[in-house]
Amino acid sequence: MKPANSILASFGTTVFEVMTRLAMEHQTINLGQGFPDQDGPDSIKAMVDRATKEGPNQYPPMLGISELRQAVAAHGKRFYDLDVDWQTQVMVTSGATEALAASILALIEPGDEAVVFEPLYDSYVPMLRRAGAEVKLVRLQPPRWELPRDELAAAFSDKTKLILINTPMNPTSKVFDGEELSFIAGLIRQYDTYAICDEVYEHLIFDGVKHLPLITLPGMADRAIRIGSAGKTFSMTSWKVGYLTAAPNLMSLIAKAHQFLVFTTPSNLQRAVAHGLDNEQAWYTNLAVELQAKRDMLRNALTEIGFEVMPCGATYFMNADYRPLGFAGGDVDFCRHVTVEAGVTVLPVSALYATPDVDHLVRFCFCKKDEVLEGALDRLRKFFGA
Ligand code: PMP
Ligand code: GLN
């Protein structure tokens, strides 16, 4: 048989799926894959039921229902003073993952270069390469994951088509600040490129820090694509409703990719997310307060057990170095070890690098009920004799 596509064939099954399967097999407490163990607000679940009953349950408009597109535009204005025309600048997608794929397909021409930070969400590199891009990786270093400005500048060239930025960032929990984003914006202007901004954790930021969308910076309105996710904002990760905001000429191109990928997104879910964005602001802004308390609890407990915990300013992920506990193997071995022997599953951070290097960090997902986190910590305490 002729070989199929070699780029996709070269990637394995995503680490999230692998670790969750392993967790199920060993019936562990799963702090690997990122998903909350409590659903979002009841009012939006009720709206899904209502919308399904009322119908129509037929193809909604390709760009998304007007209620949701207006709600996304109003949300952008409310939080970031972002003025956009919902009709020409907002599109609904099947999750942020589809928004990323459609944006990449819309922009990349074979031979273009794309700049991406490592570690990274695992769909970026496969999709960029499949679209024909040469990926230029710029590595952030633990524990502070600071922007390596010289390396970043060196990664740009006349062939650079886009940079993909994830802030707040998975898995590092870093929030890019105004100075860092201004530096990046300067490079985008200098090299006449675009930015795909994965901002799915925009509402999950701690310690009073505010999210700053790159698209609001000078000169970025025509160059940045801002992507959000109802899965993250409303703790409904199975719904796969995303949304993007971009200048009209970019939006219409991305819409062409979207029309051939999925064409549209379930209308009952869209109505529910519109309701949520407009009416459940207290719910999604309180979520960060609850998560911050969980972060503090987890950080203290892991430190007591003997992990070296990295700073965590956002998202629901915390990274920790296990070497002080005396485990000599790599992070994949460590994750397998604690899954099988301690009954707790965590994620090897090396799996979120395109070219593995950092091999001593594991990621804990802490959007779980307190008793679940306590249960996992008890198992780890017993296992490590803490
Ligand atoms: N981007 C990042 C950084 C993520 O961590 C995730 C994981 N949920 C996504 C995008 C995907 O979001 P969605 O489920 O809306 O496709
Ligand atoms: N974004 C989630 C994480 O980082 C998982 C997404 C997925 O399973 N594809 O864990």
Q: Which residue has a Cα nearest atom 12 of ligand 1?
A: 96
Q: How confident is the model at residue 34 (pLDDT cuts 50, 70, 90)?
A: very high
- 122, 141, 127: which is closest to 348 by C-alpha? 122
CA distance linking residue 235 with residue 195, whole number of Å = 26
Residue 384 neighbours by CB under 8 Å, 6+ apart: 305, 306, 325
Q: Which amino acid is at 119?
A: P
Return the CATH class of domain 6-40+283-384.
alpha beta
Q: Does ligand 2 lie within 6 Å of residue 229's CB atom?
A: no
Which residue's C-alpha comes closest to atom 10 of ligand 2? 34
Ligand 1 center to 328 CA (angstroms): 32
pLDDT tens digits, 99-121: 999 999 999 999 999 999 999 99
Provide CATH code, domain 43-280: 3.40.640.10
355 — pLDDT class (breaks 50, 70, 90): confident
Pocket lining for ligand 1, CB < 6 angstroms: 34, 95-97, 121, 166, 170, 198, 200, 229, 231, 237, 240, 242
Give the percent of the chain with pLDDT over 90: 95
Look at residues 188, 213, 209 and name the one whose alpha carbon lies nearest to residue 199.
Answer: 213
For residues 244 and 329, is the Cβ–Cβ distance under 8 A?
Answer: no
Confidence bin at 53 (pLDDT 50/70/90): very high
